[in-house]
A and B are shown apart, each in its own frame.
Chain A
Amino acid sequence: NAGVTQTPKFRILKIGQSMTLQCAQDMNHNYMYWYRQDPGMGLKLIYYSVGAGITDKGEVPNGYNVSRSTTEDFPLRLELAAPSQTSVYFCASSHYSGRKYNEQFFGPGTRLTVL
């Protein structure tokens, strides 16, 4: 299994450009997440999905959109990039069964710079 994969690894955008960060998992997990990590800070949840066709906002959703058309893929869309969106973006997935915490597996991250 490849686990959680993210593309691209690095990207530089100009203000106002748009892009999609790709995330895929091959573990048949129902839950998927997008986090951002600013320098020297912890991770903040942007959006999450509990299954195909279902998404919900996290702590910092403004400026982002997501979709979940399949179990495997959970792309994150930036429509009008702003310097405040310069960050490292992590995708994660987990199998949530309603019982105790199920480990979230993280991808390697996408480092985005908006100039």
Chain B
Amino acid sequence: GQQLNQSPQSMFIQEGEDVSMNCTSSSIFNTWLWYKQDPGEGPVLLIALYKAGELTSNGRLTAQFGITRKDSFLNISASIPSDVGIYFCAGLPGAGNMLTFGGGTRLMVKP
């Protein structure tokens, strides 16, 4: 099946620093999604991207749909302790709602 490679696997940063993570695939996706999972909870959608090259923000979060349609990036500016969690990318290859998830990036923020 399709696979999404997410990197880095984990990050340990200082509060106030900016964070970048990315997701790559050997296949084309028509929709890219970024989710956050807090400990003991289910994932929650942060940003959805629908067009190649699209750049979308949600507060301090900015995500981009790569122009090759095989990658996506998530940036978090001025990190705060509540940003701690696991960030997942997910892709949709076409029509439908069947997601393929990346392995996640575990973010830890030191106050």
Contact = CB atoms under 8 A, between A and B. Distances in A.
A101 B92 CA distance: 8
A103 B33 CA distance: 9
Given A31-B97, A42-B88, A100 B102 contact: no
Interface residues of A, number: 25
B85 interface: no
A106 B101 CA distance: 14
B54 to A, nearest CB: 12
Interface in B60-111: 88, 90, 92, 95-99, 101-104
A43 interface: yes
A104 B95 contact: no
A71 B97 CA distance: 17
Interface stretch (A62-70, A72-80, A91-99): A91-99
Contacts of B40: 108-109
B91 to A, nearest CB: 10
A34 interface: no
Contacts of A98: 95
B103 to A, nearest CB: 5
B21 interface: no
Given A90-B42, A101-B31, 17 more contacts: A41-B103, A41-B104, A42-B4, A42-B6, A42-B88, A42-B102, A42-B103, A58-B98, A101-B33, A101-B50, A101-B92, A101-B97, A103-B48, A104-B45, A107-B42, A108-B42, A109-B41
Would you list the 8 A-B pairs with minimal beta carbon distance, nearest first? A106-B42, A42-B101, A43-B101, A101-B31, A42-B103, A96-B97, A103-B45, A90-B42
Interface of A: 4, 31, 40-45, 48, 58-59, 90, 92, 94, 96, 98, 100-104, 106-109
